[in-house]
Amino acid sequence: MTKIGFVGLGIMGRPVAGHLIDGGHELFLHSRSGVPKELLERGGRECSSPCEVARNAEAIITMLPDTPDVERVLFSDNGIAHGLSPGKLVMDMSTISPSETAKFAAAINKLGCDYVDAPVSGGDIGAQNATLTIMVGATEPVFNRIMPILELLGASITLIGPNSSGQICKLANQIIAALTIEAVGEGLLFASKAGADPARVRQALMGGFASSRVLEVHGKRMIERNFDPGFRVELHQKDLGLALSTARALGISLPNTAAVQELFNSCIAHNGARLDSAAVVQVLEKLANHKIQD
């Protein structure tokens, strides 16, 4: 049994922490909105601050919305860094800036502790089913050290390279996912406007070269008008913002990523920030003056 700290118990963090408890680990938990009762009833221990979490745990995991949140939890007056002692490990499973991740890792390393960036893909369903795809930035010895923990959470676990490599991989994932979601929306909207049954079109495409997990999951959401969040528009928009700012620093152009980012911006402007990212189809529908299945 390992003493594990966990900060950030939202849609993703709550089931991930639960799997760690089920795996026999002792969990020290903190969340600004309070620790869910279900985790306490299963043996989790609530801490008053991230610093207290770090004092009690051998390995500390963060799963937070954005770069400033991770920075605050790590380095504020009551942050994780103030509760660390040499030999401990910090693993961030958020999706944040690769360049800031490198800085965070360097600061934690100076305290004699290891740092891992391990963002995930798979959404709330993957978190609930422990089938996440986990992209890891760490040294190989540290990766081997944390593998027993990661195996409780994911079905696909890959060491990408040194610190910040995990975040780079995750942003590549978010680019591909966003553009594919938008493409599925365009395809189904086109089929519906042209008079074909979008549900049958999706069924047919699932057996062909256009088949994808996005067509399966998000296409179904679009047809059924189910936009309850697995992964919120505002978070996907944030991730594309990180990708575009990183691309600018690299001196490369990502034109289609920028276009989809504008569609996410429009979705947020129309009160869709907290809907699932499949809701980008609603912006396309406004442009076409047609709803799928009208």
Annotated catalytic sites, by residue? 170
- Cα–Cα distances (Å) from 52 to 15, 58, 152, 245, in that order, read 22, 12, 24, 34
Tell the residue number behind the tokens 């605050």, with chain if given. Answer: 72
Q: At what angle do helices 98-110 and 165-193 cross, to 10 degrees?
A: 150
The β-bridge relationship of strands 132-137 and 120-121 is antiparallel
CA separation for the pair 244, 263 (Å, rounded): 14
Among candidate residues 242, 285, 212, 171, the one with its CA nearest the CA of residue 294: 285
Helices (H), 206-290: 213-224, 233-250, 255-269, 280-288
What is residue 232's DSSP assignment?
B
